[in-house]
Amino acid sequence: MQSWWRGGVTYQIYPRSYQDSNNDGIGDLKGITERLSYIADLGVDSIWLSPIFPSPMLDMGYDVSNYTDINPEFGTLADFDALIARAHELGLKVIIDQVISHTSDQHPFFIESRQNRTNPKADWYVWADPKHDGSPPNNWLAIFGGGAWQWDARRHQYYLHNFLVEQPDLNFHNPEVQDWLLSTMRFWLERGVDGFRLDTVNFYFHDALLRNDPADYRKKDKPEWNPYAMQYHIFSKNQPENLAFIERLRALLDEFDDRAVVGEMGESHHAIKMMGEYTTGKRLHMCYSFEMLSDPFGAAHFRKQVEEFFTDAPKGWPCWAFSNHDVVRHVSRWAEHGVSREALAKQMAALLLSLEGSVCLYQGEELGQTETDLEYNELIDPQGLRFWPENKGRDGCRTPMTWDASVPNAGFTQGKPWLPIKAAQIANNAAAQLDKADSVLSFYKQMLRVRRQFESLRTGDTKFFATSEPILAFSRENKVVCIFNLSPEPHQVAVQGVGEVIVAEGANLVSGQLQLAGNGFALFHDQGVVINGKSE
């Protein structure tokens, strides 16, 4: 029997922004549970909850202070158990976010570790002596700006933080650290979770010799808005020891029935190749990177990601996404390629849900939701606060769900929402789309039904046709052919050997010519398709 995750679709929930049940302005577990029937009705296979553990919330839960409890803002363990039970009743699997490369500086283990060099947790974090001149041990940079080393006067040493100063990195070279982290994951597996999303899965190990990262080998015409992108991070992360730990983690999941783990590849160099490496053999079940979560757009770009992955890792498995909690929503990011918000949203749904691999949808994506335009004084995200205005941070994609324009705060809360809910987002509300046959929401439901109906769309091999921009065309297992016009201008494609239409928008087949409006697309039954005179 095929595992649920292989070719499956996961719906990502940002808990603070989904549904507030107690009107404190912050989404919570009870609120999510109330909305699970909406998610099940979409037709997805699973949900992924962004971090729900106790945290000072300096990085919105990605700074964990307790790995085996629930943040009181979100509820209790009993609320989590009720969510799991209801999700399983509805046929939904539940994946939770695991942030194990680092902890909060408020975690009891770090508080103990920083006291001196002899305590039981002294070697649980990455500590290093200063150079003779007092400077840090090497040139490693932090993602949120500045150097990756913070001085601690108690130990007369620096500690490593790849992210915020308040997010010290754990020392994975210490076997006790690995054992403890796996024990916290066992806690949740025994509680009934169906798997994990692993944050920054390639960051766990650092180079034990603390060698300098070299400059990025790619030519840059000017400095990056974030200097982190100007280094080639071959020592601060991406260490070979990482894979051995991933195999230990996979062995833990294999003790339980039908569980799965998806990793986030936080890397801008060779990320597709690394996705394959991390999913081949008894490692991660799935992995995703940012190649389709960033600015590049076009037939050649999308084709390259899929072909490169399966060429490098024919036994690996990717997870594709266009939006998530870390990037500008794709309907806004790629707006210049769309005739309209609705047309682009539908086309991207059809493309994403036709790709070989598994798929992740981000809450609100099914509504064609756009990025929220926030002022500096409305920001909470440290990325935006540090790099404004060149980068406005991630709050714009994290604003609350818009359920119903006829009620206060679009039905998210009766209190003051933790981030603003603006008119542009309220216009894209669920209630207005639920019973509208041509809405973005209705199309997502249709396309998810199609993906479930055709096993070839979930697990079949992909063969691309030799088309030129802006036409992207491929066949899944020679059973379903998918043709997309990735531009706002109309285009025409010569097509032979297609059967009945499965789903289409802005497409008309006349005498062997497929006429595609801007953002038009069509999925047909494949009966030996030939496109522009070429069968492959």
Tell me, yes or no, whether 473 lies in a domain.
yes
Tell me, yes or no, whether 144 lies in a domain.
no
DSSP-based three-state secondary structure for 520: strand
Looking at the DSSP bridge assignments, the partners of residue 102 are: 169
For the cut 50, the answer to whether the pLDDT of residue 1 exceeds it is: no
Quick one: pLDDT band at residue 219, thresholds 50, 70, 90?
confident
> Residue range 442-471: average pLDDT?
97
Tell me, yes or no, whether 48 lies in a domain.
yes
**DSSP labels, 328-363:** --HHHHTGGG-SSHHHHHHHHHHHHTTSSSEEEEET
Q: How many domains does the chain have?
A: 2
The model's pLDDT over 10-66, given as tens digits with 9 standing for 90+, comes to 999 999 999 999 999 999 999 999 999 999 999 999 999 999 999 999 999 999 999
Catalytic-role residue among 255, 336, 375, 435: 255
**465 and 440 together in one domain:** no
**396 and 343 together in one domain:** yes
Domain CATH for 50? 3.20.20.80
Mean pLDDT score across all residues of the chain: 97
Cβ contact 319:7 at 8 Å: no
**348 and 440 together in one domain:** yes
DSSP-based three-state secondary structure for 440: helix
Tell me, yes or no, whether 156 lies in a domain.
no
Task: Tell me how far CA of residue 420 lies from CA of 274, 397, 415, in angstroms.
Answer: 37, 11, 12
The model's pLDDT over 263-273, given as tens digits with 9 standing for 90+, comes to 999 999 999 99
**DSSP labels, 32-75:** HHHTHHHHHHHT-SEEEEPP-S----TTTTSS-S-TTS--TTT-
**482 and 442 together in one domain:** no
Q: What distance in Å separates the CA atoms of residue 123 and residue 109, rounded to the nearest whole number? A: 10
**329 and 469 together in one domain:** no
> What element of type H or E holds 477?
none
Whether residue 199 lies in the annotated active site: yes
**487 and 439 together in one domain:** no
Please tell me whether the overall predicted TM-score, pTM, comes out greater than 0.85 for this model: yes
The model's pLDDT over 384-398, given as tens digits with 9 standing for 90+, comes to 999 999 999 999 999
Residue 479 has what pLDDT?
A: 97
**238 and 306 together in one domain:** yes
Residue 536 has what pLDDT?
A: 53
For the cut 50, the answer to whether the pLDDT of residue 105 exceeds it is: yes
Rounded to 10°, the helix 271-279/299-312 angle is 40
For the cut 50, the answer to whether the pLDDT of residue 189 exceeds it is: yes
Sign (positive/negative) of CA torsion 421, 424, 425, 427?
positive
For the cut 90, the answer to whether the pLDDT of residue 534 exceeds it is: no
The model's pLDDT over 305-361, given as tens digits with 9 standing for 90+, comes to 999 999 999 999 999 999 999 999 999 999 999 999 999 999 999 999 999 999 999
User: Is the peptide bond preceding residue 470 cis, with omega within 30 degrees of 0?
Assistant: yes
Total residues found in the chain within this entry: 536
Tell me, yes or no, whether 241 lies in a domain.
yes
Tell me, yes or no, whether 269 lies in a domain.
yes
**215 and 343 together in one domain:** yes
Closest C-alpha among 68, 97, 100, 64 to residue 245: 100
Catalytic-role residue among 166, 199, 264, 526: 199
**253 and 317 together in one domain:** yes
Buried/exposed 254-272: b ≥16 CB within 10 Å, e otherwise: eeeeebbbbbbbbbbeebb
Maximum alpha-carbon separation in the chain: 80
For the cut 80, the answer to whether the pLDDT of residue 2 exceeds it is: no
Q: Among the three residues 407, 426, 451, which one is the final residue of a domain in this structure?
A: 451
**210 and 333 together in one domain:** yes
Please report, as a single letter, which amino acid is at residue 458: R
The model's pLDDT over 476-510, given as tens digits with 9 standing for 90+, comes to 999 999 999 999 999 999 999 999 999 999 999 99
**374 and 335 together in one domain:** yes
Residue with tokens 């209190």: 415
The model's pLDDT over 252-308, given as tens digits with 9 standing for 90+, comes to 999 999 999 999 999 999 999 999 999 999 999 999 999 999 999 999 999 999 999
DSSP 401: P
Q: Among the three residues 427, 451, 475, which one is the final residue of a domain in this structure?
A: 451
Q: Among the three residues 451, 483, 506, which one is the final residue of a domain in this structure?
A: 451
Quick one: pLDDT band at residue 220, thresholds 50, 70, 90?
confident
**DSSP labels, 231-298:** B--SSSS--THHHHHHHHHHHHHHTSTT-EEEEE---SSSHHHHHHHHHSSSS-SEEE-STTSSS--S
CB-count burial class (<10 Å; 0-12, 13-18, 19+) for 146: middle
> Can you give the residue range of the structural domain that contains 309?
9-103+174-451
Give the full edge-to-edge strand order of the sheet including 157-160.
Answer: 127-128, 157-160, 149-152
The encoded tokens of residue 388 equal 């404004």
**447 and 476 together in one domain:** no
Other CB atoms within 10 A of residue 345 CB: 28
